[in-house]
Every structure is written in C-alpha cells, then in structure tokens.
Amino acid sequence: EPKRFSLDTAFPNPFNKLIRIHFTINNPGYVDIGIYDLKGKWIRNLIGKHMQNGKDNIAWNVSDMVGTPVASGAYLVVMKFGNSIQTKKIKLIK
C-alpha cells in the first residue's frame, strides 16, 4: 500500500504567537515537517521521526532553530512522507 498522508488545517491562520498544524498519515512511517520562508530558506524543523498512523498535530511558536523570533510574513509548512511532499501557506502577523 502506498504511503498516504494529508497536511490538514493550520489554526489559527493568520496567527500571532503560536500556530497548530494538523496532519494525518495512513501508514506508519517517517514524518518530516518543517517551516520555510517563501524564498525556500529553511527556518525550523518541527518533526523528524518515525510515527504511527493516525491524526496528530504539532505547534510552532514562531521561532527559528536557535530560538530567535521570526519576522511577520508568509511562510510554508512543508510535510514530507514517503516519496511525497505537501505544503500549506501560513501567515504570521505580529
């Protein structure tokens, strides 16, 4: 069975201090979710681990990998699972 998944809602969007990203995987496997700016620059990795199938969520507190708050603007949530990628646009308003 192919590895299927969905990058579901990101709430609230637009957001200010915290956004919760919901996703579903239909098979156990390695899940990688990261935040990128619109130019493709990597901002932060949120998940990078093997997970069981089902619905789950992760929160982002608008900081980069060293804890520095990022600027207002649009960002991309990028989810990789198996050989597929899904993206969702989110907007930070401070």
pLDDT band at 54 (very low <50, low <70, confident <90, very high): very high
The mean pLDDT of 21-31, rounded to a whole number, is: 96
Answer whether 1's CB lies under 8 Å from 50's CB: no
pLDDT at 63 over 70: yes
pLDDT band at 58 (very low <50, low <70, confident <90, very high): very high
pLDDT band at 2 (very low <50, low <70, confident <90, very high): low
pTM score, whole prediction = 0.93
